[in-house]
Amino acid sequence: MLNKIKFFNLLIYFSFILIFNTCGTNNQCGVNAKIIYQLGFPGCDYLIEINEQLYEAENLNEWQNFLFYVDTQYVDLDYVFTNEISICSGLEKINIFCLRNI
């Protein structure tokens, strides 16, 4: 009986690992956005425009490989609100967890 319980728990554990590993491999981000390069604003060089609203990405430094340093860059992204307001821009902050150039 104890072996059946251990086997069942092990089966559940590996099922969760399989599910979580397959969810992150599609490389699709769901929201169209623009990254706007604002040269001249120290500390907040980039603003994110989503549905005509501006935001500041708190973790954009994690995505430096995707930034082209142009005035406007079109991307797809997924994000969550941080419930914080930026000191330099006065905009609501977001965290980006998926970013793909269009």
Q: What is the pTM of this model?
A: 0.69
pLDDT at residue 42, as a whole number = 67
Where along the chain do its domains lie? 31-101
Tokens of 91: 């905009």
pLDDT tens digits along 13-70: 545 444 444 344 456 899 999 999 886 666 678 899 999 999 999 998 899 888 887 8
Pick the closest to residue 48 from 59, 11, 25, 20 (CA basis): 59
CATH T-level fold of 31-101 = OB fold (Dihydrolipoamide Acetyltransferase, E2P) (2.40.50)
